[in-house]
Amino acid sequence: MANRTEVRISGFGGQGIVLAGVILARAAAIYNETEATQTHSHGAESRGGACVSDVVLSPERIDYPMCLKPDVLVCMSPESATRYVPLMKDGGILVVDEDLVPEVPAGKYGQVLKVPATRVAREDLNKRVVANVVMLGALVGIDPVVTKEAMEKAVLDSTPAGTEELNMEALRRGFALGQAARA
């Protein structure tokens, strides 16, 4: 990992964007022994408004907890792609949910990886609600900002009792999607 890695997860309220950021930060800080911060913001609406979760990872103490220029940007809505792509680090990695972000805005990203996270959650797992976990798995499959094992432990710690099997399957599907997108 570079000295500081910034990951921004974005979409709209109701997609589990904040939880995804919390899980990623937990995986890094608790199970990967990496310094991590997580901040988020969202619109006043409880569902449907803009939502963003910033995670900063570093092997050293973090002096500023928010993303300045994300190295990795995850977009789960077209509005988030339009808003945040221009703010990415030049050469960064853009990961989009291909069914929710059909057109990728122009930007100075190094690569764009399209992942059908919501489709897999809805059609394969019959639970659209785990699309955020599918996307987290894809993120780690694409760019291992934390280890797969750390992410598995953080998902188990952060999701409701009784959903462990579903969330672990969502994570596994995401890992496979991320590795396939990277290839």
Q: Hey, what are 144's tokens? A: 């291992």
Identify any residues that bridge with 97 across adjacent strands, giving them in sequence order. Answer: 115
pLDDT tens-digit map of 138-183: 999 998 999 999 999 999 999 999 999 999 999 999 999 999 988 7
Domain boundaries, the chain: 5-182
Q: Identify which of 99, 60, 105, 115 has the alpha carbon closest to the alpha carbon of residue 80.
A: 105
Confidence (pLDDT) at 58? 96
Burial call 47-81: b when 16+ CB within 10 Å, e when fewer? eeebbbbbbbbbeeeeeeeebeebbbbbbbbbebb
Q: What is the pLDDT along the chain (183 residues), one digit of tens a residue?
A: 458 999 999 999 889 999 999 999 999 999 998 999 999 987 655 566 789 999 999 999 999 999 999 999 999 999 999 999 999 999 999 999 999 999 998 888 889 999 999 999 999 999 999 999 999 999 999 989 999 999 999 999 999 999 999 999 999 999 999 999 887
Residue for token pair 């300045």: 68
Residue 11 makes CB contacts below 8 A (sequence gap 6+) with: 17, 51, 75, 76, 77, 80, 97, 100
Q: Report the DSSP pairing between strands 93-97 and 72-75.
A: parallel
5-182 CATH pick, 1.10.340.30, 3.40.920.10, 2.40.50.100, 1.10.3720.10: 3.40.920.10
Tell me if the pTM is above 0.85: yes
